[in-house]
């Protein structure tokens, strides 16, 4: 028989780091765009995703609607996923890049909580501890005046915008965690491309309707902003592609841990290109959130390894 070619050691982790870098650079370009609503940026991102996924749907002959019993789940996956994207882009625009990125890393913790509520998955004292760590990190980043006083430093613009961005980032994280729970419910009965297709189509329809209601639909006046829009779409696709390839050849646990490089890149890019030094409050919040995210990933990883050994026995 033919010998199977050995996979390159660490290739999956390299893909994860590359994915984190591409996502971080896309976020940086989003911060550089002027006078363009986050909903419009999201609409352009959806167009790029549709163009990428459409050939895959045709090639794999998955159809455009999916199995009848799964369509309602796919709809809510697309609806919540698009809401998460719009809110995250808004958070990137109105608050420091590192702060918004750190808050998004509370997603694994909230995923465990929602999976316990809706899927009856196990939720231990360790999970509760990691949830408290994540909430502490968010509080350190938001720095509400009733805890930290009225003089809040190290934010972009007014504290009102900072608070709105924090709320948007938290809501985005909860929406993203909900989509993961829905995908777990659906399982492997629906092709990956079909899931992204719903996400892009529903997101685009929702963004277009919202833009007409807000009267914000317009092309950017600056040619540089148009280039940034294209690059955000391409980098987002590239980041998603490399993250998918990483999960195909590497265990989910190490990939989840290595994804925390998003936070490192966000701190570096914010300092180098936005001339905004993170405060010690942000650093402390980042350490809390990363610790909770890594702890959750390690627990899930060990649990999956234990179940695999039990199946072998």
CA dist 57 to 69, 121, 187, 245, 300, Å?
A: 19, 32, 18, 18, 31
Mean pLDDT of 147-176: 81
Domain that holds residue 181: 22-312
How far is 10 from 254, CA to CA, in rounded Å?
10
pLDDT at 224: 81
Mean pLDDT of 124-128: 85
Q: Which of 65-74, 180-189, 268-277 shows the lowest mean pLDDT across its residues?
A: 180-189
Residue 76 placed within a domain:
yes
Residue 12 placed within a domain:
no
pLDDT at 202: 92
Confidence category of residue 11, pLDDT binned at 50, 70, 90: confident
Q: Which is nearest to 236 in space by CA: 88, 87, 27?
A: 27
Q: How far apart are the first and last CA of the chain?
A: 28
Q: What mean pLDDT, rounded, does the chain reach? A: 82
CA dist 42 to 46, 81, 82, 238, Å?
A: 6, 11, 8, 16
Confidence category of residue 146, pLDDT binned at 50, 70, 90: low
Inform me whether the pLDDT recorded for 283 exceeds 80: yes
**Alpha helices (runs of H) in the chain, residue ranges in sequence order:** 11-32, 38-60, 71-94, 97-104, 107-118, 125-142, 145-148, 159-186, 192-214, 223-249, 252-258, 261-273, 280-312
Residue 221 placed within a domain:
yes
Q: Which is nearest to 288 in space by CA: 251, 265, 253, 260?
A: 260
How far is 293 from 257, CA to CA, in rounded Å?
8
Q: Which residue has the higher pLDDT, 176 or 184?
A: 176
pTM exceeds cut of 0.75: yes
How far is 44 from 232, CA to CA, in rounded Å?
9
Tens-digit pLDDT profile for residues 210-224: 888 887 777 766 678
Residue 295 placed within a domain:
yes
pLDDT at 174: 92
Q: Looking up tokens 């808050």, which residue turns up?
A: 103
Residue 116 placed within a domain:
yes
Task: Give the side-chain half-sphere CA count within 13 A for 177.
Answer: 24
Q: Are 246 and 15 in contact (CB under 8 A)?
A: yes
Residue 71 placed within a domain:
yes
pLDDT at 3: 43
Tens-digit pLDDT profile for residues 20-46: 899 999 999 988 887 778 888 888 888
Q: Give whichever of 132-136, 248-252, 256-260 has the largest mean pLDDT.
A: 132-136
Confidence category of residue 5, pLDDT binned at 50, 70, 90: very low
Q: Which is nearest to 31 in space by CA: 107, 103, 100?
A: 100
Residue 3 placed within a domain:
no
How far is 45 from 226, CA to CA, in rounded Å?
13
Q: Are 105 and 297 in contact (CB under 8 A)?
A: no
Q: Which of 79-83, 123-127, 134-138 shows the lowest mean pLDDT across its residues?
A: 123-127
Residue 92 placed within a domain:
yes
* Other CB atoms within 10 A of residue 310 CB: 8
Joined tokens for residue 173:
């994280």
What's the total number of domains in the chain? 1
pLDDT at 22: 92
């Amino acid at each position: 028989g033919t010998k199977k070619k050995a996979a390159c050691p660490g290739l999956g982790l390299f893909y994860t780091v590359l994915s984190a870098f591409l996502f971080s650079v896309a976020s940086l370009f989003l911060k550089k765009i002027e006078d363009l609503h986050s909903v419009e940026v999201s609409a352009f991102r959806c167009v790029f995703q549709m163009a990428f996924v459409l050939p895959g749907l045709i090639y794999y002959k998955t159809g455009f609607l999916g199995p009848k019993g799964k369509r309602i789940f796919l709809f809510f996956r697309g609806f919540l996923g698009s809401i998460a994207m719009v809110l995250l882009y808004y958070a990137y625009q109105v608050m420091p890049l590192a702060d918004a990125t750190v808050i998004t890393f509370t997603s694994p913790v909230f995923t465990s909580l929602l999976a316990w509520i809706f899927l009856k998955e196990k939720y231990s004292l360790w999970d509760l501890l990691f949830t408290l760590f994540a909430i502490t990190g968010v509080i350190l980043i938001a720095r509400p005046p009733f805890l930290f006083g009225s003089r809040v430093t190290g934010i972009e613009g007014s504290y009102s915008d900072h608070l709105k961005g924090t709320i948007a980032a938290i809501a985005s994280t909860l929406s993203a965690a909900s989509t993961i729970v829905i995908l777990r419910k659906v399982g492997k009965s629906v092709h990956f491309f079909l899931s992204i297709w719903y996400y892009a189509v529903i997101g685009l329809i929702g963004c277009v309707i919202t833009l007409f209601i807000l009267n914000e639909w317009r092309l950017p006046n600056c040619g540089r902003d148009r280039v940034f829009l294209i690059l955000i779409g391409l980098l987002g696709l590239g980041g998603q592609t490399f993250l998918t390839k990483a999960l195909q050849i590497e265990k989910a646990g190490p990939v989840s841990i290595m994804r925390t490089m998003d936070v490192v890149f966000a701190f570096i890019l914010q300092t180098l290109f936005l001339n905004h030094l993170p405060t010690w409050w942000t650093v402390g919040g980042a350490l809390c959130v990363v610790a909770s995210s890594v702890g959750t990933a390690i627990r899930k990883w060990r649990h999956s390894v234990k179940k695999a050994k039990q199946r072998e026995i």
